[in-house]
A and B are shown apart, each in its own frame.
Chain A
Amino acid sequence: MDLLQNNFSTFLQGFGYTLLSSVIALVVSMILGTFFAILQILPQKWVQKVGNIYVQVFRNIPLLIITFFFFLVVAKVIPMNGFTAGTIALSLYTSAFIAETVRAGILSVNSGQMEGARANGLSFWQAMQHIVLPQAFKIALPSLGNQFINLVKNSSILAFVGGLDLMYQGNMVAANTFDTFGTYIIVALFYLVITLPLSYYMQHLERKLKHAA
């Protein structure tokens, strides 16, 4: 408990950065993931290929390497700190998984939904936006929830590039107090403060949508 009291502001700062990075990465990866999911279902073969390559690249490379790539290589051209580099890497990495999840969601929406909308006069994008995607997200919700929780935990990658997040501050506290065990238990509890409400909220959303239909 002393450990927590003495280093509370440090933990809190780390918590703040972890939360900030997670929220940014969540929004960005949802947008990118949805975009690349749609690319992969467009009729043009080469567009599909582009979407597929993006997903394969970012899904199959360890997050740490993507992070170091931005932190050590890209930063030479476009200066960015560890927080930015880590958050970008986290967004791209997660977006590849979200793209796969959303694509599966879109494919499991009955093709009659798109046909009905097109025959009704809607453009492809209007049909996507108003009819197909809302249903796809609903189908994909449970596994999107998993992706979000993984995202929060994966944000600990920031610690490797001085991203000031919870894990980073935990490393510092552990190094200064020499109480590794206690420090990481506190760090774990802070992560739970984010992930538990998140998973509860996702379950709640799932239930709500199930009843709405």
Chain B
Amino acid sequence: MEKAKKRQFGIIATIVLAAVIVLGLMWATATAKKNQEHQDTLARVEKLGRIVWGVKADTKLFGLMDTKTGVSKGFDVDIAKALTVQLSKQTGVPMSAEFVPVSSSSKIQLLKNTNIDGTVSTMTITPEREKIIDFTKQYFDAGQSILVKKDSGIKSIKDMNDSKYTIIVVVGTTAAEETKKFAPKAKLLAVQDYATGMQALKAGQGQAMSTDNAILYGFATENPDYQIVGGTFTHGPYGIAFDNDQGPMIRETNKALATLKKNGVYNKLIKKWFSNVPGLDWHELEAK
């Protein structure tokens, strides 16, 4: 190629490339906008005859992936199934339940993108989250606690307010924020999921892992060298979450939840999952 032709080719290539990038960005923003447009969740699930639930995959007792079947099992999953059955009855539309594994950091985005319809995933109801998504009434009472090695000498979160301590949390959990308030001097180590957090704790990368007591109980059962100390230092009940402004869906789900609590299904599930956890008085969790 002669020089002028080469230069021409370069210019054309640059323009084409720039055009592709600009169009791509426009398309991405348009799709993102479209996803944010209001859609009525209840209408959608009734129309499609299925509810896609986001559930945890790494949290024992609530949502833990069975590696053989690839299906999550736990209290959250069973609650979602029971709710789906109850919602079908209430609306008169038969609906099936489907499950998608979500992480602490991804679930809100997945809700917003309508990849999932709702999520039952050990999600604490907080004012900040309420601004952008909708919660039902609480379906599980929880509070933050710490898990430490038995011989560590740490008695409570207050003992850890020292820069020599590192507290392990999971990105996107309320614990990541709350821990700073109770032990401002301690260092934080945020990992992607609970399993890594537990491994990091065992490897000595931190002296405690902090999250909701209910989740920590799962780890304490599996790792007898570790224990929960100091009780709970926050009160943060879990709610079932949907996208913003889902009045009808929230109403129906609250109604369904109340029914489950009344008809004994809820208590049966509490017994199923929490009656064997050492050191936990599971009767306190039952619906009165």
Contact = CB atoms under 8 A, between A and B. Distances in A.
- Touch test A–B (CB under 8 Å): yes
Nearest to B106: A180
B71 interface: no
B230 interface: no
Contacts of B171: 171-172, 175
Interface string B100-126: 000011101100000000000000000
Interface string A150-162: 0000000001111
Given A172-B171, A172-B176, A178-B129, A71 B205 contact: yes
A79 interface: yes
A154 B191 CA distance: 17
Nearest to A159: B192
Interface in B65-99: none
B199 interface: yes
B229 interface: no
A72 interface: yes
A211 interface: no
A160 B203 contact: no
Contacts, number: 62
A186 interface: no
Contact of B105 (A68, A161, A171): A171
Contacts of A162: 188-191, 200, 205
A199 B127 CA distance: 45
Contacts of B188: 162
B11 interface: no
Contacts of B204: 75-76, 79
Contacts of B129: 178
A109 interface: no
B176 A71 contact: no
B132 interface: yes
A175 B189 CA distance: 15
B172 interface: yes
Main secondary structure of the interface of A (DSSP, over half): helix
A86 to B, nearest CB: 12
Interface in A162-178: 162, 168, 171-172, 174-176, 178
A76 B190 CA distance: 19
A78 B32 CA distance: 46
A85 to B, nearest CB: 9
B196 interface: yes
A107 interface: no
A160 B192 contact: yes
Nearest to B111: A178
A177 to B, nearest CB: 9
Interface string A170-199: 011011101011000000000000000000
Contact of A174 (B105, B199, B205): B105
B203 A178 contact: no
A73 interface: yes
Interface in B171-210: 171-172, 176-177, 188-192, 196, 199-200, 202-205
A81 B105 contact: no
B58 to A, nearest CB: 14
A195 B28 CA distance: 23
Contacts of A105: none
A72 B199 CA distance: 7
Nearest to B109: A180
A71 B104 contact: no
B105 A175 contact: yes
Contact of A160 (B106, B191, B202): B191
- The residue in B177, B191, B202 that gathers the most chain A C-beta atoms within 10 A of its C-beta is B191
Interface in A8-42: none
Interface string B111-150: 0000000000000000011001000000000000000000
Contacts of A180: 106, 108-109
Given A172-B176, A174-B105, A178-B108, A82 B203 contact: no
B197 to A, nearest CB: 10
A172 B203 contact: no
Contacts of B189: 82, 162
Interface of B: 32, 104-106, 108-109, 128-129, 132, 171-172, 176-177, 188-192, 196, 199-200, 202-205
Interface of A: 68, 71-73, 75-76, 79, 81-82, 159-162, 168, 171-172, 174-176, 178, 180-181
19 contacts: A68-B196, A71-B200, A71-B203, A71-B205, A72-B202, A72-B203, A75-B204, A81-B205, A161-B191, A162-B200, A162-B205, A168-B190, A171-B190, A172-B171, A175-B176, A176-B128, A178-B109, A180-B109, A181-B109
- Name the 3 nearest CB pairs between A and B, nearest first: A175-B172, A162-B189, A72-B203
